[in-house]
Structure 1
Amino acid sequence: MKLTFWEAAEATNATNDWKRWSDFELTGIEFDSRLITQGNLFVPLKGENDGHSFIKSAMDKGAKTAFWSSTETAPDELPILQVADTLKAMQDLAVYYLKKMTPTVIAVTGSNGKTTTKDMTEAVLAQQFKTYKTQGNYNNDIGLPYTILHMPDETEKLILEMGMDHADEIDFLSRLAKPDIAAITMIGEAHIENLGSRAGIAKAKMEITAGLVAEGLLIVPADEPLLVPLTKELTQTIQTFGLEQADCKATIIEAQKEYTSFKINGSDTLFTIPVPGKYNVGNALIAIIIGQWFDVSEEKIQAGLADFQLTKNRTEWLKSSTGIEILSDVYNANPTAMNLVLDSFSQMPTQGKRVAVLGDMLELGPDSASMHASVNEHLDPAEIAEVVLYGAEMHALYDTLKTKYQERQLHYFKKEEKQALTSTLKSILEPKDMVVLKASNGMGLNEVVTNLLEM
């Protein structure tokens, strides 16, 4: 980290007499005292626990300074930066650090696929530039400034994931990061409970342009009419992607469970991504557009996509000890995303039967029952032999599927019956079968995945 104690004080308008301490280099920044290493700046945040109470632990770990906004007396032996709000101080410091280090900033949001797109984009740009990306799901008002302050000092391209569940959250993140490129993967139904409609979600995702630089680039799906009126007043360059009419259009050449190959308009290059599904091709198109924007050659783009590393729990193929193939996609879910996964899964070749395990999609609001029931259009007994449903909201889909699936093919479990669900899966799954698990993260289906791997 190329940052000193005095710089941090000035960037955050610290109000105490910090100049009584000699200036010194900071080695990093942490808000979790357990992660502190020698020479770090400690940021005590106020949440379920007040981070100020962990100051001694941070000092024992090697913290060399700390922000402070508590009414409790700060330790005399530690250089302290008194601020009104420790979170705002970290955000202000991130703004300062971006201006100092001047990386090109790429921002990615969307109802689904933003993490995969971030991973793909980083892999493409890393072929030519020093890159850094959001780690895990650090994509909110804490995680985004934390990511900025953790980027290596040689970073040329910084890829930031931006998440939200309410209006105005991405607006804040975009104004903080001031991206040079902004991308929206798709508009689904995630968080519709808070935003009212898909139109409300589209408006919230478009907040990513709030801080987009005047000469910047916005990338949007070509098949999303809700975004069209929201882009009309923009002066930045806009490029679309998709499988139909789009600035960057893909034609799928081969789709297998382990990979998907495609070509784009105007090119004979065959691109291959190590993940299934046409929805992932859309994510790859964003990475291709960004690579082209920075004059990365097609050969390098091709190489980056072929070897990109997917963040854990995102469309992950696994295999049990007995040979059962498991498609784990249990980090988040909304109807659009679930339907895309099911459509893709239904066509994947297998020597056994296909089984779908579907858990509740959360935060869908008053129309949750009808949205869950609508998934039945993407389930066919001829393609997916058995369906296992889990959670209160999935009962609506269960009722709908009763007319399509026989009783022995359809299973329903309440949220408190996870153990029974796992036992049923172990009884119906055989070697060479293929199973997909899809649900919101709050349903905890990752535990079921872990149990299946032990079969």
Structure 2
Amino acid sequence: MFSLTVREIASAVGAQNATDKWADVEISAVGFDTRKLFSGSLFVPLIGDNDGHAFIEKAIENGAKAAFWSRPLDEAPTEIPVIQVEDTLKALQALASYYLKKIHPKVIGITGSNGKTTTKDMTEAVVSSAYRVHKTQGNFNNHIGLPMTILEMPEDTEVIILEMGMNHADEIRVLSDLAEPDIAIITMIGESHIEYLGSRAGIADAKMEIISGLKPDGVLIYPGEEPLLEERVHSLVKEQLKTFGTTEKNDLYPLTIDAQMTETTFTTNAEPDLSITLPVLGTYNVTNALAALSAGLVLGISIEQAAPKLSVFQLTKNRTEWLTGIHESMILNDAYNANPTAMKLVLTNFSALPNTGRKIVVLGDMLELGQQSRELHKSIEEVLSAESIDQVFLYGNEMHVLYAALLGKFAEGHLHYFTGDKEPMIHQLKQLIQPKDHILIKSSLGTDLLTVVQELKV
């Protein structure tokens, strides 16, 4: 249970006004959305498209017991304590930093172009085999979500796992400096946000910002087969570096992998005789699990101790989940996020799965690829073969270049392209799908193929 007094909060954020009258008032939660407040909350009126100060009466009505305030004090309510600050967002972050130091858990920060959320979920499973754990919920992983995750941490938390997302340079630096991780994990370097960062090298620079706040004795866990990271880790000593990947050059790597429709089993060099089962599809998820297991090893958790928890870990919704589809089909829903590297990985794994029906893929635009968008969309052609995929449905303006590239590879009636209204594509899919078909649906969230998933699932 979160519990801070107004005195503590005012001191933590450097209040610009006197709060002695309210010093002993206890606050049990923090929130910025008036719809989600409850009795005992500190209201944080953030300023964005709307000014949160305008909703102070609603906040009080919904249980706010105190509030940050960056407008003139003569505009502030008088029935609850207000803590005047220059910037309410910075005050939120400062309060999170104070609370994190007060509870003093071990901190694991996770970033990467793909696999952040899955690795976070796996790391929670591994670490919970020995510690009380709190983690980022959903993808609440930005400059607002990360401090909120910290402030929602129970007071008995021993390890906190913080997902760190970004779109632009210097964003992860802010999050790392706030969190000061004991362990930092980079899952992979892909092409996400290349529109803003210019190149994969620029993306690697941005992801390496996670070591900005790394504790002096902290450890960086990263894919050892990524040259862009190998070139950038030299500011840390050897003892601070742990690698994972598919080959023997890494500290932790798989010896065997058996990927099935709903689970993947593997063994590692660290425990060759121990089979570890993941309740998810994909050889790429083995590398996510290796990152999680590496974090466990740093914390003194053996792979043998962690394996049972990994076998039952819960994947965040919309991350590569199997759903029952219409006409007794099965849908592999991966429509929450997409970049070229991730799309190729899931297509390769999907293509290799055994099944008695047909394989249908529905692929939507991958966003934020900038000037390289056409080239990167076209590159998906490498992993699409008429020998393993029966039907290909492409959606979105950016997918036209892939459609043109595939025209000679797929027979007439097996390659389909749509833009704009999704209903014609949904209608055609409903007419086409047969029992035992497997359907992969993958795109960036902004392309909104989740609408298609909703229409095709039972």
Q: Same fold (TM over 0.5)?
A: yes
Task: Show the counterpart of 2:5.
Answer: 4
Whole-angstrom CA distance in 1 between matches of 2:222 and 2:235: 15
Task: Show the counterpart of 1:395.
Answer: 400
Deviation string for 1:210-265 (max 9, x for gaps)? 00111111011121101111001213611111111211011333110100000000
Decide whether the 8 Å contact of 1:252 with 1:260 is kept in 2: no
Equivalent position amino acid for 2:178 in 1? L
Decide whether the 8 Å contact of 1:325 with 1:432 is kept in 2: yes
Q: CA deviation at 1:418?
A: 0.8
Decide whether the 8 Å contact of 2:293 with 2:306 is kept in 1: yes
Which segments of 5 or more consecutive residues in structure 2 lack a partner in the other structure?
Answer: none
Task: Show the counterpart of 1:264.
Answer: 268
Selected match of 2:234 from 228, 232, 236: 232
Decide whether the 8 Å contact of 2:338 with 2:366 is kept in 1: yes
Equivalent position amino acid for 1:196 in 2? G
**Matching of residues 294-313 of structure 1 within 5 Å:** 294-313=299-318
Task: Show the counterpart of 1:242.
Answer: 245
Decide whether the 8 Å contact of 1:38 with 1:61 is kept in 2: yes
Selected match of 1:347 from 343, 347, 352: 352
Decide whether the 8 Å contact of 1:2 with 1:26 is kept in 2: yes
Q: CA deviation at 1:321?
A: 4.8
Task: Show the counterpart of 1:332.
Answer: 337
Whole-angstrom CA distance in 2 between matches of 1:3 and 1:126: 26
Equivalent position amino acid for 1:250 in 2? P
* Residues 1:194 and 2:199 are matched in the alignment: no
Deviates further, 195-204 or 14-23: 14-23
Deviation string for 1:19-53 (max 9, x for gaps)? 12241221100010111111110001111111111
Selected match of 1:368 from 346, 364, 373: 373
Deviation string for 1:58-106 (max 9, x for gaps)? 1111110000112470111111001101000000001101111100000
Deviation string for 1:267-286 (max 9, x for gaps)? 11100101111111000001
SS of alignment partner, residue 46 of structure 1: coil
Task: Show the counterpart of 1:101.
Answer: 103
Which segments of 5 or more consecutive residues in structure 1 lack a partner in the other structure?
Answer: none
Whole-angstrom CA distance in 2 between matches of 1:275 and 1:388: 24
Task: Show the counterpart of 2:383.
Answer: 378
TM-score with structure 1 setting the length: 0.98
Decide whether the 8 Å contact of 1:314 with 1:329 is kept in 2: yes
Whole-angstrom CA distance in 2 between matches of 1:323 and 1:285: 34
Task: Show the counterpart of 1:110.
Answer: 112
* Residues 1:223 and 2:225 are matched in the alignment: yes
SS of alignment partner, residue 355 of structure 1: strand
Whole-angstrom CA distance in 2 between matches of 1:94 and 1:10: 13
SS of alignment partner, residue 64 of structure 2: coil
Selected match of 1:314 from 305, 311, 319: 319
Equivalent position amino acid for 1:244 in 2? T
Whole-angstrom CA distance in 2 between matches of 1:263 and 1:393: 39
Selected match of 2:413 from 400, 408, 415: 408
Selected match of 2:175 from 173, 176, 183: 173
SS of alignment partner, residue 393 of structure 2: strand
* Residues 1:440 and 2:441 are matched in the alignment: no
- CA 1:248 to 1:276, structure 2 compared with 1: closer, same or farther past 3 Å? same
Whole-angstrom CA distance in 1 between matches of 2:347 and 2:255: 20
- Identical-pair percentage: 53
Decide whether the 8 Å contact of 2:252 with 2:270 is kept in 1: no
**Matching of residues 9-24 of structure 1 within 5 Å:** 9-24=10-25
Whole-angstrom CA distance in 2 between matches of 1:7 and 1:111: 38
Whole-angstrom CA distance in 1 between matches of 2:52 and 2:129: 40
Whole-angstrom CA distance in 1 between matches of 2:274 and 2:311: 13
Q: CA deviation at 1:140?
A: 0.4
